[in-house]
Each structure stands twice: as structure tokens, then as C-alpha cells.
Amino acid sequence: MYDEEALKYVRFSGTEELAQLTSLRNSGERRAILKLFSCRKNRSYSAVVLHNSRRDTLVQLLDFPLKTIVHPIRRPEIGEPVELRLSQVDLWKKNAHFLVK
């Protein structure tokens, strides 16, 4: 019914559209979370360490689907839970700034 080239085209364009839709969904989720955070400054949140580099640490919040980079004084181990305090939300740049307690 369809030749191989037509199937490749449909598969490629479908994959590309799915990636764009996923990106839009994730962007919308992030914006909604940041809007919620903008009303909750100075609150504490639990997170877990995903990755350490020489200067910063990537953490995943436990209660929200949000990853962020923090700059702890003491370098925590990967998998270690950390407590964060929300200090600032920038809706224009679509990011939140946390301090490690």
C-alpha cells in the first residue's frame, strides 16, 4: 500500500511532531510549577542529588517534576536527600533559584 520511502517520511515527521508536542507540554508544566512557586517564596522543599560537578549540583525536587542546579557549601553525595529553600522565581527566564539549607 505504501512504499518504504513514504513510511520513513511518516515515521520521521511523526517523531518530530511528537518531540515538539512533548517540549510544549513540558514547557507548560514548568511554567505552571513556577507560577505556583512564585506565590510560595521562602518555603522549604525536599530534593535528591542527581549529579555533582566541580561547582554545582543537579537536584530533582521530590514533590514536583522539576530539576534545578544548586550551589551547596558542602558537596552532597549522589542520591543524598537535601533540603532547599526557594529564594526567587523568574517567570521570564523560566527558572527558580533555591538555596541549600
- Return the number of other C-beta atoms located less than 10 Å from residue 45's C-beta: 21
Name the amino acid, one letter, at 79. G
The string of pLDDT tens digits covering residues 65-89 is: 889 999 998 889 999 999 999 999 9
Contacts of 91 (CB under 8 A, 6+ apart): 31, 34, 35, 38
Q: Domain coordinates of the chain in residue numbers? A: 4-100
CA distance 63 to 41: 16
Residue-level pLDDT, tens digit, the chain, 101 residues: 556 676 565 566 556 655 555 555 656 788 888 888 888 888 999 999 999 998 899 999 999 888 999 999 888 999 999 999 999 999 898 889 999 98
pTM for the predicted model, two decimal places: 0.69
Q: Which CATH architecture has domain 4-100?
A: Beta Barrel (2.40)
